[in-house]
Structure 1
Amino acid sequence: MRKLLLVGCAALVLGGSAAAVSSQTPRNETFRLLELFGDVVGIVEQAYVVPVDNKKLIEAALSGMMTALDPHSNYLAPDSYGDLRERTSGEYSGVGLTITSEGGMVKVISPMDDSPAAKAGVQAGDVISSIEGQNASGLTVSQVSEKLRGTVGTSIKVTFLRDGEEPREVVLTRELIKIQSVTGRVEGDFGYLRVSTFNENTGRELSEAIAKIRAEKPGVKGYVLDLRNNGGGLLNAAIDVSDAFLERGEIVSQRGRKPDQIQRYSAKPGDLTGGLPVVVLINYGSASASEIVAGALKDHQRATVVGLTSFGKGSVQTVIPLRQGQDGALSITTARYYTPSGASIQKIGIEPDLEVARSEAEARIVSRSSFIYSEAAYATALDSSIGAERKGAHIPHEAPGDKFPKDKDYQLERALDVLRAGGDLSKLSAAPEGIVVSEPGAKAKSEDTPASDEPQQ
């Protein structure tokens, strides 16, 4: 049975075998081009100024070929393939970053909760500019991942670039990243469920967290499901999480190259919350599997979605081992996924029912361009397949101003307000003092001209 992994930086399927794929290029022309490749390798081997490692040369060519397809297709060398399998089991040694590639640079989709990177203040959208003083420009995701991983207790110096700020050098000490994908706690009359990633244990951990909250608070009145900065994970785990809140109906479908390549996944009877109100928190770091959950619960009107428009990664990748993994594997995009209503999330994302920025800084990002931290920013990204586009630069509906306490999470506070209103936005209490509120859909000055530093009303 295949395991679908929808990580924001590398959404993958583990297992399976290579299949013959027909090409639109005539066979004779394909053979001629393959001969050309062999000729080039031969010339480099004979004429380059220093001896070359043909294995590294060919692996680099394979990597370049795959990344030319789209941002999430890539070649995994044997070590990287082994690392991937280890990581999806829920434990590995490293700094705790979900990363992707854009324009020859590697960008952070999200830091993992309580990881060395998160503790050091690394944020979604940060670009890795150098590692141990060496320029990281042009490195693949696999190459950067290999450099960041290492023995527990060892350190690595990484320089990050952030929009509008000076380069920031950080020393990260590697830890055993034993990922507890779900944590839960009681927040007043409600339960708070944080899902940081989607791995093999997520469905079980969610059930346990809900049971623990119900035991601690028998009269719990609703739940916040926090998917912010969750870069994705296993599709099966996303289905399990969605199913925990649904009694019936389709959760997600994936559609491939041919009309008959459609797979549908549906909920089984049994809502673990007993139908209590649910609010899902998302932001631009919520990608892939997170978007499946948010989209499913929103389409079924099972939850109110609060936060900022999600990343917009709506494609599925399949990992095809090469010679049983001895020569690594290919991660290749094989399908798009669709929410129950038939909407494609690719390059669009899930729009919240109540748009709330966590800070003024987040509000400024959205007012400049909602593409900054999104799938739509990639030049090689697949289109949405439905002709829709991601919402452009605009002023978020709500953002905390100077008077709002810095030690409080405004998005979470508003999510709890929605639960107090029974999930009915028409009964939602007004934004508290110190909050900047814009008219719904208010636009920034221009897609190309930054708005002022203060969110407009």
Structure 2
Amino acid sequence: MAKTLLRTAGLIAAVALVPAVSASLAQSDVQTYRELDQFMSVFERVRGEYVDKVDDKTLIKGAIDGMLASLDPHSSYLDARDFDNLKTQTDGNYGGLGLTVQLEDGAVKIVSPTEDTPAYRAGLKAGDFITHLDGNLIYGGSLDESVDKMRGRPGTQIRLTVVRPGRDKPFDVTLTREIIQLRPVKWEIKDRVGIVNINAFNRQTGDAVRSALVSIDKALGGKPLGYIVDLRANPGGLLDQAIDVSDSFLERGEVVSQRGREKADIERYYAKPGDFAHGLPIVVLVDAGSASAAEIVAGALQDHHRALVMGERSFGKGSVQTLLPLTEQTALRLTTARYYTPSGRSVQEGGIEPDIAVPQLSDPDYKSRPRLREADLRRHLINEVKVDDRVLEDDGKPDPRFAATADTLKKQGIEDFQLDYAVKTISRLSTPAVLAALGNTARPAAQKRLR
């Protein structure tokens, strides 16, 4: 009898909770519908009373853009034009000047120039502002309008007026448009060191990296002293390609994890057996333009002690965007997760700190030019577990290794100081004395040193 009463009481209590929960949900829904009613009221007012007639499509797109812009810098709505542009970039071919740009406070700001393009050859830098196109002010316009003006028939010219922080006056650069054939990976050999330059993470990048490593071995007729993986000014790209590239240099272990809204929403990605770099020493070069997928590669190789990371602190984009198709011609690019390096680090805001900070001394403006990073973007995601120990490590003394000027280096024939320093580092790691000190046995000693 007592058990029956308890069961009955429990059932009554459970039933009693239902109206309260339903009432709470109903109240939430009512509030949402009120907000939507308010949105429709504004839409109708603007549609009927704005000084110029605006079509409904423009108003609705503006509302969607505003909603997504209130979330973070990387979530956006892609109309048919944006969707096509994204597909052509991930496929590896697009037309233009070779610039990645964004809108900041009404001004067009260069995120990075793509290597071997008109913009790169003209010396445009990340952080430069474009104020005029062919003498016409573009400040205050939309990013799409500015990009459309910069694109055009290959062989035609356009004049850009550029404001570079640290310089007193704007300057003009005339560029000739061309079809941008994105080669995501290039390779070369310097002093028996293989250099793999990764410019972007599109659909061909993983295969291209492995092909480059094999080609370096063939060109040398044997193994090099080591490899340099150059990720500078690489704005990122496809997550699966970042995993594929990291896997080319790792024998085992986690490459990256991504974590969504819920605690249980975690995906981990692992390397498969097979190191295409033969366990030889690796230096990874990064700078403030190394972002997203580039940071995944640098973080994975750094955490597994497979490579020395050199250069300067990377961009700091530690979020994952998922492309969610809405129709055949439109899609939603939505931030759905944060990613973490194998040791559990988030690079969001803080970026990848190099093991050896090497300034780009061959750039005469390297000290004065501001670096644009994720932490500078409005509404960027906050890294809640970041730890900044740079103040503790900085003793304030100038490093005698980095005292040369750009003019001095130019006279010595050094056009890229960071790359030159990396090549010399690989050579030092591969000397017989170093190998002996590290204890060369069954596998290369340098592998023991870096793994």
1:413 aligns with 2:420: yes
State the partner residue of 1:70: 72
Q: For 1:242, what is the secondary structure of its paired residue?
A: helix
Say which one has the larger Rg: 2
Aligned partners of 1:31 and 1:50: how far apart in 2? Answer: 29
**Which residue of 407, 425, 429 corresponds with 1:422?**
429
SS in 2 for 1:348: coil
Deviations 1:307-338 (A, max 9, x none): 1111111111112222233xx22211111111
Among candidates 257, 278, 302, match of residue 282 of structure 2 = 278
Partners of 1:139 and 1:254 in 2: CA distance = 36
Give the whole-Å Cα distance in 1 for the aligned partners of 2:42 and 2:266.
Answer: 40
In the TM superposition, what are the counterparts of 1:3-402 in structure 2 within 5 Å?
Answer: 26-139=28-141, 141-165=143-167, 166-217=169-220, 218-325=222-329, 328-359=330-361, 361=364, 363-365=366-368, 372-389=371-388, 397=399, 399-402=402-405
Contact 1:110 1:124 in 2 (8 A): yes
Aligned length: 398
Q: Do the aligned partners of residues 84 and 230 (structure 1) sit closer, same or farther apart at CA in structure 2, a change above 3 Å counting? A: same
Question: C-alpha displacement at 1:223, in angstroms?
Answer: 0.5
Name the SS of the counterpart of 1:318 in structure 2.
Answer: strand
- The answer to whether the 8 A contact 2:129-2:163 is kept is yes
Q: 1:196 corresponds to which letter in structure 2? A: N
| Cα distance change of structure 1 residues 314 and 120 upon mapping to structure 2, 3 Å threshold | same
**Distance change (3 Å), C-alpha of 1:70 and 1:146:** farther
Q: Pick closer, same or farther for the CA change 1:363–1:174 going to 2, 3 Å.
A: closer
Root-mean-square deviation over aligned CA pairs: 2.6
Give the structure-2-normalised TM-score.
Answer: 0.82
- Specify whether residues 291 and 109 from structure 1 end up closer, same or farther in structure 2 by C-alpha distance, changes over 3 A only: same
TM-score (norm 1): 0.81
Percent identity of paired positions between Structure 1 and Structure 2: 43
TM-superposed CA distance for 1:290, in Å, is 0.7
Change (3 A) 1:150 1:301: same
Structure 2: how far apart are the matches of 1:207 and 1:361?
35
Deviation, structure 1 residue 224: 0.7
Distance 1:80 1:401, change over 3 A: same
What letter is aligned with 1:418? T
**CA deviation map 1:55-102 (0-9, x unaligned):** 222212222221221111112221111111111100111111122343
What is the rounded CA distance, in whole Å, between the counterparts of 1:72 and 1:286 in structure 2? Answer: 16
- Are the counterparts in 1 of residues 73 and 380 from structure 2 also a CA contact under 8 Å? yes
Letter of the aligned partner of 1:152 in structure 2?
A: P
Q: Relative contact order (C-alpha < 8 Å, sep 6+): which is higher?
A: 1
- Deviations 1:252-274 (Å, cap 9, x if unpaired)? 11111111111111101000011
Q: Report the counterpart of residue 448 of structure 1 in structure 2.
A: none
Structure 1 CA distance for aligned equivalents of residues 296 and 193 of structure 2: 24
CA 1:104 to 1:346, structure 2 compared with 1: closer, same or farther past 3 Å?
A: farther
TM-superposed deviation, 1:150: 3.3
Shift of residue 45 of structure 1?
2.0
State the one-letter code of the partner of 1:153.
G
How many Å separate the matches in 1 of 2:428 and 2:183? 31
| Alignment match, 1:442 | none
Letter paired with 2:376:
A
Work out whether residues 225 and 281 of structure 1, in 8 Å CA contact, stay in contact via their aligned partners in 2: yes
**In 1, are the aligned partners of 2:166 and 2:368 still within 8 Å (CA)?**
no
